[in-house]
Each structure stands twice: as structure tokens, then as C-alpha cells.
Chain A
Amino acid sequence: DTAVSQTPKYLVTQMGNDKSIKCEQNLGHDTMYWYKQDSKKFLKIMFSYNNKELIINETVPNRFSPKSPDKAHLNLHINSLELGDSAVYFCASSQGLNRIYEQYFGPGTRLTVT
């Protein structure tokens, strides 16, 4: 059973296009996140949602817009894609915001912008 799933796994697109990455968790968690892992393998948080409400937006360009239709889904929409957006994007979830809850990660979406 997949706990946190992302689609697509790979995404190749041209500069200027708009694309979306979907994330779903079947753990019943209240909190979901998006992280970006760059070419140097550093993982940085982008967004955090709790019960469909945006909590954290970490200096991410406004071309990136998260959308949470319900508690189990947090999709990432990217407008006007740039070369520097190429990275692996990870979705994660946790039971809640409390410190005792660990975060569970999806398999990642490798985005390549040409």
C-alpha cells in the first residue's frame, strides 16, 4: 500500500510551460508538505499545509502555487517554468503539527525543464 504517492514520477517540459504535480496520502494525516531537492541534493521545504490551510511558504516564487482540494491531496502547480526549476520535488505528510509526528515522504517527481 502506497502511503504517499506522487504523479508523475518524471516530467520533462520546455521553458515557459505550466505544469502540475499531484500528491496524495492515504494515511489520514492532517499536514502535507512540498520539498525541493536541487542538483546538489539539498532538500528545502517549500510549502506546508495543515487541514487545507497554507502554513509555510518559504521564499518560493509566486509561480509556484499549491492547491489542496481536500486533506488527502496537495498538488503543486508551476507557471512559466524556468531552467532553474529543474529538480526533484518531494511531497510529504505528517499526522499533525506536533513535534512527535514524523514526516513520511513520497517517491519524488523529477522535473526537467529544457
Chain B
Amino acid sequence: KQEVTQIPAALSVPEGENLVLNCSFTDSAIYNLQWFRQDPGKGLTSLLLIQSSQREQTSGRLNASLDKSSGRSTLYIAASQPGDSATYLCAVGIFFGNAGNMLTFGGGTRLMVKP
């Protein structure tokens, strides 16, 4: 059974810092990996989707990497801003036969960027 772990559970940094959020998963037979952002009381916003054959994806100040063999992904946030404060969720997609893709989520990293 796939298990997804995110470390750290919470992170507080001053504005402007570059930071790395970590995600690890137990079963390397993944379909894809998706990073989400969740603001308090709100839904999930998709940030980046990495296919299992890809090593990284970039969007603006965000860069996500994937090392399938070691069961790890990192989300790199450059020049952090107070508006980046949110919970970041990593979700691993696994192949579910004819059903295709099923996401298993980590517990999230709660990020606070202080002005």
C-alpha cells in the first residue's frame, strides 16, 4: 500500500528565503506526482504535475523534482513571499488498472513566510 510522507510538517521562514519541501513515498511504481497548495478553509490548487517519466517541472518560482527510484520529490520555492503562506500537499498517483490514476496524499507541510 502506498504511503506518502511530508517533512517538515510545519516551516516558518523570513521573506526572501529559498526553501525546499520534501515528499517521500514507499512504492516507486507511481503514475505521476502532483503538488497542491491549500489555503486555510479553502480547496486545493494544483501547482505542478510531474509524470513518472519526468525528472522535474517548473512554474514561475516553483520547481518540483522527482526521483522515482528513491521515492522522493522536492518542491523548491525561490524567493519566498508572505503570499506563499499555505499548506503544501504532495500527492502520488498510482495506476489502478482500468481505473487509471488514483491519488494518495501526504499529510502536508504548513508554510509560514514572515514579512
Residues of A within 8 A of B (CB): 4, 31, 40-45, 48, 50, 55-56, 58, 90, 92, 94, 96-108
Contact = CB atoms under 8 A, between A and B. Distances in A.
A97 B100 contact: yes
Contacts of B25: none
Nearest to A40: B107
A97 B96 CA distance: 10
A30 to B, nearest CB: 10
A48 B49 CA distance: 19
Given A48-B99, A97-B100, A104 B105 contact: no
12 contacts: A31-B100, A42-B107, A45-B104, A55-B98, A99-B51, A99-B93, A99-B95, A99-B100, A102-B34, A103-B101, A103-B103, A107-B43
Contacts of B98: 55, 97
B27 to A, nearest CB: 15
B32 interface: yes
Nearest to A100: B51
Contact of B44 (A42, A44, A45, A105): A105
A40, A43, A92 interface centre (most CB from chain B within 10 Å): A43
Interface residues of B, number: 28
Contact of A105 (B36, B87, B95): B36
Nearest to B110: A41
B114 to A, nearest CB: 22
A41 to B, nearest CB: 6
Given A43-B89, A90-B44, A108-B43, A102 B49 contact: yes
B87, B96, B104 interface centre (most CB from chain A within 10 Å): B96
Given A55-B98, A98-B101, A101-B101, 17 more contacts: A41-B108, A42-B105, A43-B44, A43-B89, A43-B105, A45-B102, A48-B99, A90-B43, A97-B98, A97-B101, A98-B100, A99-B32, A102-B46, A103-B34, A104-B46, A107-B42, A108-B43
